[in-house]
């Protein structure tokens, strides 16, 4: 049977820490992250099909604005603001849980405001951010470092990305996004029904994400890999350093088949804005420190600098001990 990305049903986002349901979900979440660096989240009671259509219809329209308008959306943070390439266009909003920020974003496109788009953005970002916080809390607790969760979240912000891929026949390639790991802490993706996202397993097999309107995919980024430096368990034996990591950042890519409708993907990316260090509880004789403190913004900046050379910057190279 073909390998599948594990599915965790978190429809009840109001799960209370300490309950039986919480512990059971926590176990499934962490097991999936250890084995795959990702899992599919079912949120069937939160995203009915009509809402899914509204969300993608609304965000898709942003790309129909003239390029000069889209170019007005700029950001200081690497990989944020408006970006276009022959393969895709992307709008990424920094600090998207702030309603002032989403208002400024909407005003670029509709100078007199657009209540519907703002509301849609705010409620959707809020839902994804709640999901991110819940999963992050489960992960911290599971590895005995729950006491770091509050300070971690205090220095965390969420970015919201809207991606539109050009059809392969126009780009002459079906490669939408090359193999990579995300250079932040965690990623949650939600997309329209056009398939394309694939993740790499520890056996170097590519498996695809089969989206439904109510499914999201949660991916561990490089920051999460760092925190769990020292816990035992060989998950992905790509290098000596990584083999000692409990959770490994998920390697993924986007491949598009020809003659399909346009693919849109929405992403929530969490960034820890302080320097990330391995908690001392996770370092001992058996699990020596593998990473020097990491600032995710510096890491993203350096990755951006290397793009013209087509180099993927590994954690080991950037901050390995």
Ligand X SMILES: O=C(O)CCC(=O)C(=O)O
Binding positions for ligand X, rule: CB under 6 A: 161, 163, 177, 182, 189, 191, 197, 252, 254, 265, 267
Nearer to ligand X, 26 or 248 (CB): 248
Q: Which does 8 bind (CB under 5 to 8 A by kind): ligand X, Fe ion, none?
A: none
Nearer to Fe ion, 181 or 244 (CB): 181
Nearer to ligand X, 177 or 296 (CB): 177
Say how far apart CA 14 and CA 303 lie, in whole Å. 37
Say which residue the tokens 């912000």 belong to: 157
Q: Are 30 and 8 in contact (CB under 8 A)?
A: no
Nearest to 131 by CA among 186, 195, 90, 70: 186
Q: Which stretch binds Fe ion (CB under 5 A): 137-145, 150-158, 181-189, 234-242?
A: 181-189
Q: In the chain, helix, strand, coil percent, each to 5?
A: 40, 25, 40
Q: Is 216 helix (H, G, I), strand (E, B) or coil?
A: strand
Nearer to ligand X, 189 or 276 (CB): 189
Q: How far is the CB of 210 from ligand X (least distance, A)?
A: 13
Q: How far is the CB of 207 from Fe ion (least distance, A)?
A: 16
Say how far apart CA 133 and CA 279 lie, in whole Å. 19
- Asked if residue 182 binds Fe ion (CB under 5 A), the reply is yes
Say how far apart CA 119 and CA 121 lie, in whole Å. 5
Nearest to 103 by CA among 114, 89, 92: 114
Q: How far is the CB of 271 from ligand X (least distance, A)?
A: 13
Backbone dihedral angles phi then psi of residue 66, each to the nearest 5 degrees? -60, 150
Q: How far is the CB of 30 from Fe ion (least distance, A)?
A: 21
Nearer to ligand X, 70 or 263 (CB): 263
Q: Which does 197 bind (CB under 5 to 8 A by kind): Fe ion, ligand X, none?
A: ligand X
Nearer to Fe ion, 35 or 182 (CB): 182
Q: Which does 191 bind (CB under 5 to 8 A by kind): ligand X, Fe ion, none?
A: ligand X
Q: Which does 267 bind (CB under 5 to 8 A by kind): Fe ion, ligand X, none?
A: ligand X
> What is the β-pairing status of strands 197-200 and 206-208?
antiparallel
Tell me the sheet residues that pair with 149: none
Binding residues for Fe ion, per CB under 5 A? 182
């Amino acid at each position: 049977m073909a390998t599948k990305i594990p599915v965790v049903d978190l429809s009840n986002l109001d799960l209370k820490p300490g309950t039986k349901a919480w512990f059971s979900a926590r176990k499934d979440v962490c097991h999936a992250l250890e084995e795959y660096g990702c899992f599919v989240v079912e949120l069937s009671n939160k995203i009915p099909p009509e809402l899914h259509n509204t969300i993608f219809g609304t965000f898709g329209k942003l790309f129909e604005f003239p390029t000069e308008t889209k170019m007005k959306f700029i950001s200081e943070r690497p990989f944020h603001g408006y970006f276009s390439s022959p393969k895709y266009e992307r709008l990424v909003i920094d600090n998207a849980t702030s309603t002032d920020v989403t208002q400024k974003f909407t005003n670029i496109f509709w100078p007199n405001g657009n209540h519907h788009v703002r509301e849609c953005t705010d409620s959707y970002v809020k839902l994804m951010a709640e999901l991110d916080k819940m999963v992050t809390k489960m992960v911290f607790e599971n590895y005995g470092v729950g006491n770091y969760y509050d300070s971690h979240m205090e220095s965390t912000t969420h970015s919201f990305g809207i991606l539109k891929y050009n059809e392969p026949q126009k780009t002459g390639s079906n490669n939408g996004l090359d193999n990579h790991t995300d250079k932040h802490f965690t990623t949650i993706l939600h997309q329209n029904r056009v398939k394309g996202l694939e993740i790499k397993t520890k056996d170097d097999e590519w498996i695809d994400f089969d989206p439904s309107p109510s499914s999201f995919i949660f991916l561990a980024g490089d920051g999460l890999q760092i925190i769990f430096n020292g816990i035992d368990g060989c998950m992905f034996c790509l290098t000596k350093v990584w083999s000692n990591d409990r959770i490994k950042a998920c390697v993924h890519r986007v491949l598009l088949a020809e003659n399909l409708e346009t693919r849109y993907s929405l992403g929530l990316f969490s960034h820890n804005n302080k320097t990330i260090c391995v908690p001392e509880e996770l370092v001992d004789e058996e699990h020596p420190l593998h990473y020097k403190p990491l600032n995710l913004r510096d890491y993203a900046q350096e990755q951006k600098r290397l793009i013209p050379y087509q180099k993927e910057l590994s954690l080991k190279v950037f901050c390995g001990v």
